[in-house]
Amino acid sequence: MTAVEWPNAISPGLWPFRLDAPEQWSAVEPDEGLIAFLGPPADDFRANLVVFGRRLPEEITLGEVAELALSDDGPHRLVDPGIDQPAAPGGLPVAVRSSGTVVEGREVRQIAVVTEAPDRSPSGLRSVYTMLGTYLADRADPDESTLTSVMASFELIR
């Protein structure tokens, strides 16, 4: 028998990251994500952000991952055509999509921001992160700017 530790060179796991969450938001462990944050209650709703991470092959684009994240929650309409940016010097590549839907008679918006780490396993997989923010459309002014600020603070560490 050979003792094998994980992560390792063959299966490196997800690249570590950090982000800046507002002090009044609560961090929670989601069922399927890596970490989630809940905003303070407002209008019987809590704006929230869930961070997902997966090892994915190069062939799956960040834009495809963003669109899939929005469609996983059910039928949505894309609010804008989205943004796809290659990595700038010292930065990360990013894809952004946003959508809207009606839940229990209330319009809800979602923002999906997807990025990746520069790591590649021997089989070609890389760490891909999806940040999915949800807020009430009629609270877009305070909540959307807070969510985009948290998402913009995302950075890889090591």
Cα–Cα distance list, 134 to 69, 129, 148 (Å) = 12, 16, 11
Residue 158 predicted with pLDDT over 90: no
Average per-residue pLDDT for the chain: 91
Spatial neighbors of 132 by CB under 8 A, at least 6 apart, are: 49, 50, 51, 52, 69, 70, 110, 111, 112
The confidence score (pLDDT) of residue 114 equals: 97
The confidence score (pLDDT) of residue 80 equals: 66
For 7-29, the pLDDT digits (tens) are: 888 888 999 999 999 999 999 99
**CA distance linking residue 88 with residue 33, whole number of Å:** 27
Asked whether the beta carbons of 8 and 15 are under 8 A apart, the reply is no
The confidence score (pLDDT) of residue 84 equals: 87
For 27-59, the pLDDT digits (tens) are: 999 999 999 999 999 999 999 999 999 999 999
Domain boundaries, the chain: 44-126
The confidence score (pLDDT) of residue 103 equals: 83
* Angle, CA of 153, 144 and 77, to the nearest 5°: 115
**CA distance linking residue 43 with residue 87, whole number of Å:** 38
**CA distance linking residue 87 with residue 154, whole number of Å:** 14
**CA distance linking residue 117 with residue 7, whole number of Å:** 16
The confidence score (pLDDT) of residue 75 equals: 62
**pLDDT class of 151 with cuts at 50, 70, 90:** very high
Spatial neighbors of 138 by CB under 8 A, at least 6 apart, are: 43, 106, 107
